[in-house]
Structures are given as C-alpha cells and as structure tokens.
Amino acid sequence: MILANSSRQFSTVRFTLPTSSSPAPLRTQILTFTSASLPRRLSHFKCLSASLPFAAETARHYRELEAAIDVVEAASKLCVEVQTALQSSATGILEKNDQTPVTVADFSVQALISLELGRRFPSIPLVAEEDSASVRASNLVEPVVNLVVEKAGAGEEPLTAEDVLEAIDRGGPEAFTFGAQPATYWLLDPIDGTRGFVMGNKALFVVGLALVVDGEIVLGVMGCPHWQESNKCISGVQEEKSIPFGTGLLMVSHIGCGTWTRSLSSVINGTPKTPYSWTRCFVDDCSIIPQARFCIIESEAWEALPPAALFTSTTNAESVGQDQVLVLKPCCGRFVLFYLIASSNTGLLRYF
C-alpha cells in the first residue's frame, strides 16, 4: 500500500508494504525477466514527463521516476475514457471474492504499465493486483486488448491478445514469492478507489505506482484524474456536477527530493501542453486533536479509531461541539485520503 506521510516542514510520499498481519502478504520475487522474455512490439511512449522540479544529479532514480510519470499519465487518461464508457453500460465491471469491484480499466492499466515498464526496465519485475484469469473467464479479453493496443501505439509488430494477457500476469499474485533478502520491484495499484471509479464523477480514484529498491521505497507517483483544487479543503467525494476542464493532479515523490504536484489537465483533455508548473507539498504543524479535521475511508467507522475513546465525531463543520472533532465525508480509497493529507494545509489528519 502506498502511504503518504508528511513531516512538519514538508511532506513526502512514503510507501510501505503490508505487515505480516496483512490478510494477503506480498511475496518476494524469485524470478527475473530478461529483455528476451518481454515483448519487443510495444512502441516507445512519448516522453510526457518533460522535466522534473529537481535536477537529475540530486535524484538517483531520475530515469525511473520519469518512466513512472509517463505510464501513470497514460493510465490516468485511459481510466477517464473507460469511466465515460461505463456510465452508459455496466458491462466490464466484475466483483472480486472480497466484494470489491474491478473493471476493464484495472486490467488495462496493469497491462499497459507492465508492458512499458518491462520494455524500459526489463530486469525489474512488477507486483500488482490482477491476473488474466478473470479477464478470460468473463469474456473481457477483447475490450482489454483493444484498449491496451490503442494506448500502446504501433510497434515493430502488433501486440497480440496473449502479449496483453501475459503482461497482466507478470504483475499477478502468482508471479512472485518473497524471500529473506530485500527485493527490487515496481509496486502498482491500477485503480485505488474502484467504487468511486464506477460511480462516475461523484468520487475520486487514483492510479498509484512506486519503486522499491533493495527493500526501500525510493519513489512514488499517483495520478488523480478528477482532482479539483477545492478538494484539499473538503473531502474525497465531489459535488453533484460535471467535472470541468482543467482538473486532474499528478503527485510525485523521490527520496530526498520532497513531494510535488502538477496538473494533469492537458494529458486528460488532450489539449496543447504548456510548460509544467510544479508545486511542492507543504503541511502545517497542527498537533491539537480538536483543532484538526479527520478523513476516513468508506469502509471504516470513527468509533473504530483510537481518538474515538476521547472524542465523538460530527460531519457538520458549523456545529463542532466540545469533545468533538470534524470528520470529512469518507473517501472511496486510501490513496485519495493520502492525497488529501499530503496536499492539505489546514490540519487534515489521519490515524493508521
């Protein structure tokens, strides 16, 4: 899981793995991929990252961060297009064993990112969420393949259905086992907040990607296509209105270089790109619980969190009483919550 933690002076995006108590602990990679084992048909992505807000000499994994930005931007655009199509049809939405939804976009994002990262960094494996079994069993092979082929572009040879399905499986749960030695791998959540994704423009969702090097998280990128500037002052659920142009936010972090954001609007809307303007994330030093605001995800209740032993909660900002705290509307995914924390300057807190 990708966790955004913020210090008093500046915020940084930190990524931590599930603990041994997690219901489905990750396993360390024992197989590595050589360039010969990966398709060479995928064409080069056009470099969208342009420039980062810090010099390459200060960031050891600058190339990897540029690649992560490129694939997350492409995946964010794909998600918006799929989401629009899903509003007119429920086709392409499945339910996992844990009753969480998964869509053609989840599979397509995983395949797209797997193919491109495999081409650029063939020796670094991918740990993700999905596998191709559900795609095959649910007759989603054709829409998933069509989406990936369209976004990947034309290479030396056209991508086949098996190329796309194998790309999904390279990040699947059966692809890796974890051993005692620290591993190096990409860590991907194709869509965090899929419930929000299938709701349309009422809720936010995030494409999240991180790089782990020898067991240490060194960089992370999150794309939130429907983010609006006002969200950092409210919650992860949008008002009942259409998403305007000029929305979308990319959040990036590299160890030692801080956390930064910039707009995704030109990528999402296909408008001419202007020079990117990066904004560094800062948070305040609020440390008094009654003065803070709290945000939780939809599957949680305030009563289950540690502060509930001392404070009751209210969602009405106009009537926060004594021994009460303000709790914002629940987010549909943890990454959206981390977005809010990392970009907030008004005492937004979260207990883990």
Nearest in space to 342 (alpha carbons), one of 273, 261, 229, 226: 261
Nearest to 225, CA basis, from 140, 62, 336: 336
Euclidean distance between CA atoms 326 and 349, whole angstroms:
10
Selected catalytic residue, list 103, 194, 247, 259: 194
Q: How far apart are CA 276 and CA 273, in angstroms?
A: 8
Q: How far apart are CA 46 and CA 162, in angstroms?
A: 24
| Cβ neighbours, 10 Å, residue 345 | 13
Catalytic status, residue 192: no
User: Tokens 């540029």 belong to which residue?
Assistant: 66
Question: What sign has the CA pseudo-torsion 173, 175, 177, 183?
Answer: negative
Q: Mapping DSSP to helix (H, G, I), strand (E, B) and coil, where does residue 192 land?
A: strand
Alpha helices per DSSP H over the chain = 62-86, 104-120, 132-137, 141-152, 161-169, 194-198, 265-269, 334-343
Catalytic: which of 12, 70, 106, 131? Answer: 106
Q: Report the first-to-last Cα separation within the chain, whole angstroms.
A: 12
Cβ proximity of 114 and 34 under 8 Å: no
* C-alpha to C-alpha distance for 96 and 103, rounded to whole angstroms: 10
For residue 211, list its beta bridge partners: 186, 219
The Cα–Cα gap between 298 and 307 comes to 18
Q: Is residue 163 annotated as a catalytic residue, yes or no? A: no
Question: Tokens 């999402």, residue?
Answer: 268
Give Rg (Cα) of the chain.
Answer: 20
For the annotated catalytic residues, the residue numbers are 106, 194
